[in-house]
Structure 1
Amino acid sequence: MDSLTIVAPMTPMGVSAVAALRVSGTHVRDVVRRLFGARAAENLVPRMANLGTARDPQTGKVLDSLLYIYFEAPNSYTGEDVLEVYPHGNPLIVRDLLQAIRSIEGVRLAEPGEYTRRAFLNGKMDLTQAESVADVIHSANRAELENAHRLLSGALSKKIATLTALVKDISARLELDVDFAEEEADPDFSGWKQKFENIRESIKGILNSFRGKANLSRLPLAVLYGAPNAGKSSLVNALLGEDRVLVSNVPGTTRDFVEVRLFLDGGEIRLIDTAGIADKATDELDALSMKKSREILDEADMKILVVDGNNSAGNKEGVILSEAQAESKDLKPDFVVVSKSDLAANVIARSEATKQSLDTSHLNVSSKTGEGLDDLKKVMNAILFKKSENAEDLWITSEREKSCLEEALAGVDRVLDLLEKNPAVELLAFEMQLVRRALQSITGEISSEDILQSIFAGFCIGK
């Protein structure tokens, strides 16, 4: 890390009411002086919001009237002097302000993740906490976000610190035995096996909580399906609160699936409106549409059967699906929605066989009046975002942390094997050194430049 002061936007490009830029380093006071004048730099008070007119240091041109806050080292995010600037969210203003700050001697554009990297190097957080910053930003649902906050607050760090302290204590005793091996009798290892097994179980417990980011980043998928003209597209529009899908009274309007994003209390999901599934295809295109609908249902985390509640009980085609379709495994729903509840009594006509194969909960819904929409969202949220039995559980998402834990676990396994076959104190001490270093690498107590580069390269520039 060089000694230059860094600057970068903290907010994404685009028009907004307010934008934000962060400056961090030894030249922060000089930045304030060049932008707002000597008096502003002399009267800086930490953590006080100031209103000022920012001018270009080269031309004196007014850039914007804005708020700025100064954070004095070490009481800042990075542990350095920090200036946060809040201009109006016009991209032209943000660009000009960024260029003006970069033109000041000793200031450069920040690299991806450099603010958090400086925070780690200055002791404001350990490496597990630094990695969790990205999880806080990119969490796709509430459970992931809560887990990321637990990691950021140091919940994992405390577990690793407890383990590391125990391993350090054992290592110190082993190394002491190595130093005085010629002066004393063979060490007594009775009772040590249980200690190592306890350490092993603790490491396995953390390791087993690993959840890959690839799986976590996948949004849950809910699929609406049913007979043509059952009201699927209207239901999608009603759930979104806007007309996103073409709706028509003509059956078969939806020929291809339509995917949208829907926000529930637990997080964002993918919601798909499929082409209607009938007993027989009307043409080749209709057959292809139904085939695609079945393929999408195979991927669904939640299958929602939409039934036309306005159909009469005497309809020979059946209100839901035919018995053959209902008995098909890929068409068995997780939940049934009876649509158009504002138009009919919503009597679901089924044969006895259909009743048995579709024995599941159902809900009356009206896309026109909004009846049942909130209840449907609650049902979807409960199924797609199942709560953990223990709200305090945490999981790790970092492949690097997983690799370190696997290395530590392998070391403990070798120690247990040595205790059984060859309890030489020198070998035990060496293996425990490896275990200790693996655990210390998790929190960054031991780290290399290559590891830090790979971690922070995936961060956004403003973080």
Structure 2
Amino acid sequence: MQEINRDAQTIAAVATAVAPGQGGIAVIRLSGPQAQAAVQSVTRIPGQQSWESHHVLYGHVLAAESGERIDEVLVLLMLAPRSFTGEDVVEIHCHGGVIAVQRVLARVLDQPGVRRALPGEFSQRAVLNGRLDLTRAEAISDLVAARSQRAAELAMAGVDGGIQKRITALRDRLLDQLSELEARVDFEEDLPALDGAALLEELQMVRCQLQQLVKDGQVGAALRQGLRVALVGRPNVGKSSLLNRLSRRERAIVTDLPGTTRDLLESEIVLAGVPITLLDTAGIRATSDAVEQLGIARSHDALASADLVLLLFDLSVGWTPDDEALRQRIPAAVPHLLVGNKVDLAVSDARAGTSGSAADIRLSASTGAGEAELVQAVLERCGALADGSLLLSLNQRQGDLAQQAADALARSAQVAADGLPWDFWTIDLRQAIHSLGEITGEELTESVLDRIFSRFCIGK
């Protein structure tokens, strides 16, 4: 990693969630040369308790002027280099909520040389001080933000160093080939001839492994970020019934009256480990009701923002011109599934046909028939169907860099086909090695690091 100037200031922030009435304790974390002195200035530790590393002390945080007790606390010391950041780290464990936490933090921030931490700054210092590699730091952020058990498992694989080891191994293979090429460039007459076919085969094998990692990362993105699935259809085709069934609770009012849903309803669910936001839209139809018109307008917005659209139609009525008109309104870039509902009341295939082709999925939102097939189809259409073989998942930044490396290696085939000298081979090979180094943090600048960690939460 390129040398980056380290901030000599001590930073502080709340490292736990803060909400009224939520959480019995909160943790305020400090890191830097003044961490211990700052905490000693704001606390009273009774008796002969020793301020030694990796010891817990009991005491109180005191107000600045009156000396009144602000809160009863535990103080945990983790002195350099045996800490998360590699610097002196001190944590104050106080009572949760809002008021006590903010009063304690304010006292800490009033101390000389202490400032409020920026988002991700603790993790950034851990990376700069060699306590974490970049992929582990990013995996910790993913673990904190995980919305499903499967997403947490993939994040934990990154925390354990799985991504770092895999990328480093591939990069080392490329470095071995680069050293061979550079040796031939400088001393070709003194060395045995290099087998260009074997070299190209090795580079393309690495490229294929990188492409698989990119593909797995796309599935992992769905597990981390979730999907937005819009339920669209004419009034009274069963959108709200389907939302209630998939979410396993009554989120939407279900009646036989058309136009019951007049606003966009959202429900957060997890299907096969994938977090999904279901958007139950207002039935799209011509209406003079001003409130219903607003709901229909929001339905159109939901179509454009969704990862997938489920267009429901009534099998007991069959495919209608209004259904076809709705399908035409779905943006071309948004994938969709045609879902025939009320299969328990279905008419003949001839009437239920959709422009000559059957529905993608047939189900009954009231009985649950066809639900499993729907879930399978949703995940497949979104490219989010993960099996047990998915062990690692690159995030967006890592995936983009892995793709850049794969593209650079793909250009090697053209270089070989053109019969160019060895020094031309090294150009794309160096680019691939640099891109992989950016994934692990070995090839990074301060501005890139700042951009990465700015997406982290405060206190991490």
What is the TM-score when the length of structure 2 is the normalising length? 0.75
Task: Kindly indicate whether the alpha-carbon contact (under 8 Å) linking 1:33 and 1:41 is maintained by their aligned counterparts in 2.
Answer: no
Judge which range, 81-90 or 443-452, deviates more.
81-90
Aligned equivalents of 2:160 and 2:433: distance in 1? 23
Change (3 A) 1:97 1:410: same
Match of 2:395 in 1: 397
Select which of 342, 346, 362 maps to 2:364.
362
Change (3 A) 1:271 1:149: same
Judge which range, 59-68 or 440-449, deviates more.
59-68
Aligned equivalents of 1:101 and 1:69: distance in 2? 15
* Alignment partner of 1:321 is 2:328: no
Shift of 1:207: 3.8
Shift of 1:96: 1.3
Task: Kindly indicate whether the alpha-carbon contact (under 8 Å) linking 2:54 and 2:76 is maintained by their aligned counterparts in 1.
Answer: yes
Shift of 1:116: 0.8
Aligned equivalents of 1:301 and 1:413: distance in 2? 32
Aligned equivalents of 1:446 and 1:119: distance in 2? 17
* Alignment partner of 1:438 is 2:435: yes
Select which of 91, 94, 110 maps to 2:98.
91
Change (3 A) 1:262 1:3: same
Alignment of 1:45-444 (within 5 A): 47=54, 50-57=57-64, 59-181=66-188, 184=190, 187-190=193-196, 191-211=198-218, 217=225, 219-223=227-231, 228=236, 247=253, 251-252=257-258, 254=260, 256-264=262-270, 266=273, 268-275=275-282, 301=308, 303=310, 320-321=316-317, 324=320, 328=324, 334=339, 336=341, 348=345, 350=347, 353-354=350-351, 360-362=362-364, 364=366, 384-385=378-379, 387-399=385-397, 401-422=398-419, 424-429=421-426, 432-444=429-441
Match of 2:444 in 1: 447
Change (3 A) 1:75 1:337: farther
Change (3 A) 1:173 1:59: farther
Matched residue SS, 1:83? strand
Aligned equivalents of 1:282 and 1:111: distance in 2? 51
Matched residue SS, 1:201? helix
Task: Kindly indicate whether the alpha-carbon contact (under 8 Å) linking 1:223 and 1:300 is maintained by their aligned counterparts in 2.
Answer: no
Matched residue SS, 1:220? strand
Match of 1:343 in 2: none
Shift of 1:98: 0.9
Structure exhibiting the larger radius of gyration computed from Cα positions: 1
Gaps of 5+ in 2: 1-5, 328-336
C-alpha root-mean-square deviation of aligned residues, in Å?
Answer: 4.3
* Alignment partner of 1:2 is 2:2: no
Judge which range, 103-112 or 211-220, deviates more.
211-220
Aligned equivalents of 2:427 and 2:307: distance in 1? 50
Change (3 A) 1:186 1:414: farther
The residue type equivalent to 2:162 in the other structure is A
Aligned equivalents of 1:248 and 1:207: distance in 2? 42
Task: Kindly indicate whether the alpha-carbon contact (under 8 Å) linking 1:222 and 1:303 is maintained by their aligned counterparts in 2.
Answer: yes
The residue type equivalent to 1:81 in the other structure is D
The residue type equivalent to 1:441 in the other structure is E
Matched residue SS, 1:123? coil
Match of 1:316 in 2: none
Aligned equivalents of 1:290 and 1:104: distance in 2? 53
Shift of 1:54: 1.7
Aligned equivalents of 1:45 and 1:379: distance in 2? 60
Aligned equivalents of 2:418 and 2:431: distance in 1? 20
Aligned length: 430
The residue type equivalent to 1:336 in the other structure is N
Change (3 A) 1:223 1:204: closer
Shift of 1:32: 3.5
Task: Kindly indicate whether the alpha-carbon contact (under 8 Å) linking 1:294 and 1:330 is maintained by their aligned counterparts in 2.
Answer: no
The residue type equivalent to 1:220 in the other structure is R
Change (3 A) 1:398 1:242: closer
Change (3 A) 1:196 1:98: same
Match of 2:330 in 1: none
Change (3 A) 1:34 1:414: same
Matched residue SS, 2:444? coil
Aligned equivalents of 2:295 and 2:441: distance in 1? 54
Shift of 1:454: 1.6
Task: Kindly indicate whether the alpha-carbon contact (under 8 Å) linking 2:171 and 2:436 is maintained by their aligned counterparts in 1.
Answer: yes
Change (3 A) 1:300 1:257: farther
Matched residue SS, 2:71? strand
Match of 1:369 in 2: none
- Identity score, percent: 24
Aligned equivalents of 2:211 and 2:289: distance in 1? 55
The residue type equivalent to 2:101 in the other structure is V
Matched residue SS, 2:81? coil
Matched residue SS, 1:53? strand
Deviation by residue 1:152-202 (Cα, 9 ceiling, x = unmatched): 3322211211112112222333334444446x2673335323223323333
Shift of 1:114: 0.5
Gaps of 5+ in 1: 308-318, 339-346, 366-371
Judge which range, 51-60 or 100-109, deviates more.
51-60
Task: Kindly indicate whether the alpha-carbon contact (under 8 Å) linking 1:297 and 1:303 is maintained by their aligned counterparts in 2.
Answer: no
Change (3 A) 1:61 1:285: closer
The residue type equivalent to 2:14 in the other structure is P
Aligned equivalents of 1:270 and 1:193: distance in 2? 45
Match of 2:42 in 1: 35
Matched residue SS, 2:265? strand
Shift of 1:390: 4.1
Change (3 A) 1:4 1:42: farther
Task: Kindly indicate whether the alpha-carbon contact (under 8 Å) linking 1:178 and 1:425 is maintained by their aligned counterparts in 2.
Answer: yes
The residue type equivalent to 1:456 in the other structure is F
Task: Kindly indicate whether the alpha-carbon contact (under 8 Å) linking 1:275 and 1:289 is maintained by their aligned counterparts in 2.
Answer: no
